[in-house]
Amino acid sequence: MKIYNSLTRKKEEFVPIKEKKIGMYVCGPTVYDEPHIGHARSAYIFDMIRRYLKHSNYEVQFVRNVTDVDDKIISKAREMVSGQLTVVSLAEASKEIAKKYLESYHRDMKLLGIGHPDSEPRATEYIPKMIGYIGDLITRGAAYIAGGDVYFDIKKAKDYGKLSNQNIENMEMGARVSPGEKKRDGLDFALWKSAKEGEPSWDSPWGKGRPGWHIECSVMSSDILGDEFDIHGGGIDLIFPHHENEIAQSEGAGKGFARLWIHNGLLTINQEKMAKSLGNFISIQDFIKEYKDADYLKLLFLNTHYRHPVDYTREKIGEAKKEKERIKIFLKTAKSNIEKYESAYNERPIFDSKLHFNNFLKDAVTCKDSLEKAMDDDFNTSQAIGEIFNMIHIGNSITMTLDDNNNDMIRYTKLKYIRDTVYDFCTRIFGLSLGDEEALCFVEKKLIEERKRFRELKDFKKADEFRQILLKDYNIILEDEKDGTVWRRKT
């Protein structure tokens, strides 16, 4: 398997540190707002990569952090407090905001069918370990105290700029010390920030304060995955300064770090950057409410290489919708054909060897090999999707002419093989929802499951919220009966 490494700017043969066991760390959300479809892309890509690595017989330990103390959270809390939208303190309001938007993030990931990481460390759970780590950096001479702040000393970093491919002289030209900052050099960055009045803060050897953003990822990744681990991922916008600074910190602490860096391209809307100020912000909720099916978004992502930017347009979602229809129609037709001829063909001996089997199913097997080859080549999903449609094309031509005369046994077997491969790959690796045709769509199913969960937890208020959402946004009426809940569409 070859993966592009942002650090070496080359596709490299992937060799895990421990045979068959992979540690993967991805920078997760800063929880201060509703998650948008750009967050969905990054989360989906790394979930898909995890699924494919597992499919390739690796065991994967996947860590995605949550930044739950940060300037953006505090400034949102400050607005709430000063606008008197809340009576609680600034620190309490910050906590509430982080809690609320982490819940939104979890809810949306569930709606999208994106798997939960194996660990999801939060910055606020790691304060003592971060303080210890910063203390080590000071002892080693890689960081210095200035007032109540602690800064990383960039001059002590070896090869600073190696990930973002910049030289330090050029970076110095663009870096400034802003008024009020106590750092010695424009490129130095805060490891610890002294607290201003009312801000969330923790005691430290340098006074009350809170960690800078970058330090949490160095500390949490080494704590959970070890000092050296296989894959570090995130959006391409995190390369500088965030990931560059993570490397500086870890190397400054005398530790190894990630061997391979994977960065996903960003999402634009009609070729423009997505921003609330531009009025083109699409939250995951907006998307789900309008289209009712997260798979359209997933197909949009799959059709572009993960490293490239993806441009979101209504037309492209329309195309993704058609693609999903084509997959579903094929699976449905294939299923009915397979059932129809099952008794005619299943009794007969099929193939006596793998070679024999491959010979008869040649074109379908070639497609499947090409599909895996595409995925093994830096997760080339757009090519993989192309191979899936090649298979569907072969499968469709079989369903049009299949009958039960003897010669069709091979074609019947081929159809089964294609059907199973398409279904398996689309659901297990790409996470598309293709079961229960014509019944509930994926999101509806998830909402019903959530309501059921809240009822089991006896949280009837929350359960009722889900009932209302299903009724209002999805036209689904739920009725609780003795042996379970039944649903029907409002007509």
Site residues (CB under 5 A) for Zn ion? 27, 217
Q: How far is the CB of 228 from Zn ion (least distance, A)?
A: 17
Q: How far is the CB of 370 from Zn ion (least distance, A)?
A: 35
β-strands 189-194, 209-211 pairing: antiparallel
Would you call 391 exposed, middle or buried from its count of C-beta atoms within 10 A (0-12, 13-18, 19+)? buried
The alpha carbons of the chain give a radius of gyration, in whole angstroms, of: 26
Q: How far is the CB of 68 from Zn ion (least distance, A)?
A: 13
Burial 45-63 (b: 16+ CB within 10 A, else e): bbbbbbbbbeeeebebbbb
By C-beta, is 112 or 123 nearer to Zn ion? 123
β-strands 143-146, 149-152 pairing: antiparallel
By C-beta, is 200 or 235 nearer to Zn ion? 235
By C-beta, is 47 or 295 nearer to Zn ion? 47
Which amino acid belongs to residue 199?
E
What is the rounded CA–CA span in Å between residue 448 and residue 445?
5
* Angle between helix 215-225 and helix 127-139 axes, rounded to 10 deg: 100
By C-beta, is 239 or 288 nearer to Zn ion? 239
Q: Which of 143, 283, 107, 298 is nearest to 218 (CA)?
A: 143
Q: How far is the CB of 137 from Zn ion (least distance, A)?
A: 17
Q: How far is the CB of 134 from Zn ion (least distance, A)?
A: 16
Q: How far is the CB of 232 from Zn ion (least distance, A)?
A: 8
Copy the structure tokens of residue 370.
């090409």
Q: Which residues contact 243 (CB under 8 A, 6 or more apart)?
A: 27, 163, 164, 232, 234, 261
By C-beta, is 53 or 217 nearer to Zn ion? 217
Whether residue 393 contacts residue 418, with contact meaning beta carbons closer than 8 Å, is answered with: no
Residue by residue, DSSP assigns 189-211 as EEEEEEPPTTS--B--TT-SEEE
By C-beta, is 213 or 417 nearer to Zn ion? 213
By C-beta, is 98 or 415 nearer to Zn ion? 98
Copy the structure tokens of residue 171.
């970076």
Q: How far is the CB of 242 from Zn ion (least distance, A)?
A: 5
Q: How far is the CB of 91 from Zn ion (least distance, A)?
A: 24
Whether residue 130 contacts residue 216, with contact meaning beta carbons closer than 8 Å, is answered with: yes
By C-beta, is 64 or 419 nearer to Zn ion? 64
CA–CA–CA angle 240, 243, 247 (5° rounding): 125
Which amino acid belongs to residue 464?
D
By C-beta, is 217 or 367 nearer to Zn ion? 217
Distances (CA, A) of 471 to 86, 158, 185, 222, 476: 31, 59, 58, 46, 5
Q: How far is the CB of 419 from Zn ion (least distance, A)?
A: 42
Using DSSP's 3-state secondary structure scheme, residue 258 falls into strand
Q: How far is the CB of 27 from Zn ion (least distance, A)?
A: 3
Q: Which of 240, 429, 258, 412 is nearest to 343 (CA)?
A: 412
Which amino acid belongs to residue 295?
D
* Angle between helix 295-302 and helix 37-55 axes, rounded to 10 deg: 70
By C-beta, is 217 or 331 nearer to Zn ion? 217
Q: How far is the CB of 93 from Zn ion (least distance, A)?
A: 25
By C-beta, is 27 or 269 nearer to Zn ion? 27
